[in-house]
């Protein structure tokens, strides 16, 4: 699997619907865990990732629409959103290798190689979801505002 971080939203997002902040006691290990996972996945095909990542799934259409309307529209213009995410775009969720941490990625087929199938798809990370705030059952518990740290900006917001 190939990765490109050109579409990663590097702004702090926090709302009742979604946050890319995390609990302070997870700060020390979250990027080490994420990097190990992405390193491992870089040698895998899409099918192998689906087999080893029990949290991998395609974002359903209604989730995609909700994500666009409640998160992406706060960060990007409609023109930018439409150029990146359209009807042909697949959004997926992958695990970051620890308990709740997830990443929402854009999945694109870029090759059709039989010799190097791990290079047939490009994952473009879109959002970190460190606290798995997009999960319907976890949304109900509502993340506490206290103790969540922004890792996308130098200063806490």
Place of tokens 């895998």: 44
Q: Concatenated DSSP letters for 79-123?
A: HHHHHHS-TT-EEEEEE-SSSS-EEEEEEEE----SS-GGGSEEE
Domain ranges of the chain: 2-149
Structure confidence by residue, pLDDT tens digits, 49-74: 999 999 999 998 888 888 888 888 88
User: Can you give the pLDDT at residue 69?
Assistant: 87
User: Can you give the pLDDT at residue 136?
Assistant: 62
Q: Which of 69-78, 84-93, 146-155 shows the highest mean pLDDT?
A: 69-78
Spatial contact of 96 and 34, defined as CB atoms under 8 Å apart:
yes
Name the band, by pLDDT with cuts 50, 70 and 90, for residue 119.
confident
Q: 131 or 10, which is more confident?
A: 10
Structure confidence by residue, pLDDT tens digits, 21-45: 888 788 788 888 888 999 999 889 9
Gyration radius of the chain over CA positions:
15
User: Can you give the pLDDT at residue 7?
Assistant: 92
Give me the chain's average pLDDT, please. 83
Name the band, by pLDDT with cuts 50, 70 and 90, for residue 142.
low
Q: 24 or 143, which is more confident?
A: 24
User: CA 78, CA 72: separation in Å to the nearest integer?
Assistant: 9
User: Can you give the pLDDT at residue 138?
Assistant: 53
């Amino acid at each position: 699997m190939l990765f490109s971080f050109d579409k990663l939203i590097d702004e702090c997002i926090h709302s009742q619907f979604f946050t890319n902040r995390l609990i302070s006691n997870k700060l020390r290990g979250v990027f080490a865990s994420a990097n190990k996972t992405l390193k491992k996945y870089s040698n895998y095909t899409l099918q192998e990732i689906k087999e080893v990542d029990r949290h991998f799934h395609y974002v359903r259409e209604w989730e995609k629409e909700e994500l666009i309307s409640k998160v992406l529209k706060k960060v990007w213009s409609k023109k930018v959103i439409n150029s990146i995410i359209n009807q042909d775009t697949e959004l997926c969720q992958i695990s970051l290798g620890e308990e709740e941490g997830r990443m929402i990625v854009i999945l694109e087929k870029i090759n059709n190689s039989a010799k190097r199938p791990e290079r047939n798809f490009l994952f473009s990370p879109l959002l970190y979801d460190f606290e798995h705030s997009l999960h319907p059952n976890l949304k109900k518990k509502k993340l506490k505002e206290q103790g969540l740290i922004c890792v996308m900006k130098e200063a806490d917001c």
